Amino acid sequence: MRDEPLVLGIETSCDETGVGIVRGETLLVDAVASSVDEHARFGGVVPEVASRAHLEAMVPTIERACRESGVRLADVDAIAVTAGPGLAGALLVGVAAAKALAVGLGKPLYGVNHLASHVAVDVVEHGPLPEPCLALLVSGGHSSLLLVPDVTADVRPLGATIDDAAGEAFDKVARVLGLPFPGGPYIDRAAREGNQVAIDFPRGLTGGRDLERHRFDFSFSGLKTAVSRWVQLRELSGEAVPVADVAASFQEAVVDVLTRKAVAACRAEGVDDLLIGGGVAANSRLRALAQDAPPAHRVGEPVEIAAHRQPERLGLFAGDAEHHQPVARLVERHMVHQHAVEHEQFVRIELCR
């Protein structure tokens, strides 16, 4: 095991500072500093606040990761960092820190694509990915469908949101309903007491013409507006807002579209395995619908940041791959804030054909 590469990974694409140290495919430490409390009063992530929080948390989080893993910075073989997509200022902090470490330690630096990392992290929890597989990534910043013949060399976008991400819609609707931030866990909890067919909210980009142009794309802006207007009209009429029913009906509209398009994409591409990742994958209704369509294959909670071999195969890092040896590949995950427990949820399922 000592012969396997030792890699330090940094993740700052949104509101959390993540530092992981991995030897081969074994996670040694997962250190995270969250700034979610600083964003709660705004009802969403404020980029400038997130960037400042990363600056303040970066050094202490790296130090904590080294202390808890018993690893010295001088011993790492490579530095890996999320290079995008994400919040520009937040990414800048992480990349600057990674560059400084790489220069100071004389180690190679690898920048890694955020979305490919969401897929690759499942390897740590479940082992090698089926090839090909299809990934549905749903978080506060992204809602994407990716065809993944080879996560290190061939990741093909099939569709994405054209406006709000699913997680962003959860946060905004939660604010309309007077629920705390982040909204996903609270809407999920409220929806369990509600009627998911009480209100017929729209399903974006599912009509005939929309499917011709946006077959595997998503849109949640109209749904968010529909919920807001429904609540406003209810309040103007002097009637109480049935929070549980609104939450359940809104949630059903989101997960219905997500699962419907994901399964359709699998069948269109002839893929048997669907991987669902990102914070919204923790949603109980999404997990239930996804596993009702096909049988459950494997369900788990992978780690924060992991590093693997042959990073240059990703073709996603800054610099010339020919000048680096195949030392490491960074894979990362985003966090779900629920009951003060921070973890990513992944579901890997196998389609019945």
Considering the four listed CATH numbers 3.30.420.40, 3.20.20.70, 1.10.3720.10, 3.30.530.20, the one that applies to the domain covering 6-125+302-335 is: 3.30.420.40
Contact, 250 vs 227, CB < 8 A? yes
DSSP per-residue letters across 266-332: HHHHT--EEEEESGGGG-HHHHHHHHHSS-EEEEE---SEEEES-GGGG--SSS-GGGS-S--EEEE
Secondary structure of residue 220 in the 3-state scheme: coil
Distance CA 100, CA 333 (A): 23
The pLDDT tens digits for 193-247 are 999 999 999 999 999 999 999 999 999 999 999 999 999 999 999 999 999 999 9
Domain ranges of the chain: 6-125+302-335, 131-299
pTM above threshold 0.85: no
Cα–Cα distance between 112 and 33 in angstroms, integer? 20
6-125+302-335 and 131-299: identical CATH topology? yes
CATH topology of domain 131-299: Nucleotidyltransferase; domain 5 (3.30.420)
Q: DSSP for 6-56?
A: EEEEEE-SSSEEEEEEEETTEEEEEEEEE-HHHHHTTTS--HHHHHHHHHH
State the pLDDT at residue 114.
Answer: 86
Helix axes 47-69, 88-105, angle to 10 degrees: 30
Closest by alpha carbon to 251, among 203, 295, 210? 203
Give me the amino acid identity at 206. T
SS3 state at 259: helix
Q: What token pair was written down for 206?
A: 């599912």
pLDDT of residue 123: 82
Residue 125 backbone phi and psi in degrees, to 5: -85, -40
**Could you list the pLDDT tens digit for every one of the 353 residues in the chain?**
578 999 999 999 999 999 999 998 888 998 999 999 999 888 889 999 999 999 999 999 999 999 999 999 999 999 999 999 999 999 999 999 999 999 999 999 999 998 998 898 888 778 889 989 999 999 988 999 999 999 988 999 999 999 999 999 999 999 999 999 999 999 999 999 999 999 999 999 999 999 999 999 999 999 999 999 999 999 999 999 999 999 999 999 999 999 999 999 999 999 999 999 988 999 999 999 988 865 333 333 332 333 332 332 222 323 333 333 322 333 333 322 222 223 344 555 555 44
- H/E run at residue 146: strand 143-150
Instruction: Check residue 330 and give its pLDDT.
Output: 32
